[in-house]
Amino acid sequence: MQSICVYCASSTQINPLYFEAASELGKLFAENKLELVYGGGSNGLMGRLADVVLENGGTATGVIPQFMCDQNWNHQHLSNLIVTETMHERKEKMAFMSDAAVALPGGCGTFEELLEVITWKQLGIFTKPIIIVNINGYYDPLISMLHKAIEENFMRELHRDIWVVVNSANEVIPAIKNAKVWDISVRKFAAI
């Protein structure tokens, strides 16, 4: 069974469009027998995604630090719950136990997770597909900034292949299947 890491919001005060996308992605994961690996939370898009995966007979694995469990932020009905000591350990486990990383809309935590895995791919540490789900144009400013970094030579032209942008949940699985293989030889830091 393939495992897919999903980064997304814990906020409950967001546009219903984002909840619909999380529900659609959860159904697709269950139908395609893809294991959800995510931050283990019970609220917001995190909770909705896990709930829908589980309701449709799928597998949902949460990875969450102990301090969040102490606050009862963890989902209580997951297939598997992995408790870590730190946020850093959480992010590392989520990425490296997965066959791809997907970012639904989210806040600073989601941005940080996405940018970290992009950096890891740039360095050849993480070589798997990274899919940005740009629901309602949510990620337009971030995508523009990534392209500006390339245009201004802070990143190389070939780094555009690190991520794939899709506009709906139903594009995620095909995007993972069709993602370019990432060659770790790109980590040679030759002059741009």
- Per run of 10 residues, the mean pLDDT along the chain (length 192 residues) is 96 97 98 98 98 98 97 96 97 97 98 97 94 98 98 95 98 97 70 48
Two structure tokens written together for 142: 């971030």
- CATH number, residue 74: 3.40.50.450
Asked, for residue 54, whether it belongs to a domain, the answer is yes
DSSP 182: P
Contacts of 108 (CB under 8 A, 6+ apart): none
Domain that holds residue 158: 3-187
| Structural domains in the chain (count) | 1
Asked, for residue 192, whether it belongs to a domain, the answer is no
Asked, for residue 176, whether it belongs to a domain, the answer is yes
What amino acid is encoded at 68 in this protein? Answer: M
Asked, for residue 182, whether it belongs to a domain, the answer is yes
Asked whether the whole model's pTM tops 0.85, one would answer: yes
What amino acid is encoded at 122 in this protein? Answer: Q
Task: Provide the pLDDT for residue 184.
Answer: 75
Asked, for residue 57, whether it belongs to a domain, the answer is yes
Task: Provide the pLDDT for residue 192.
Answer: 47
Neighbours of 148 (CB within 10 A): 11
Task: Provide the pLDDT for residue 186.
Answer: 66
Asked, for residue 9, whether it belongs to a domain, the answer is yes
The gap from C-alpha 16 to its chain's centroid, in whole angstroms, comes to: 19
**Cα–Cα distance between 87 and 146 in angstroms, integer?**
25
Q: The tokens 């540490």 sit on which residue?
A: 125
Task: Provide the pLDDT for residue 187.
Answer: 65
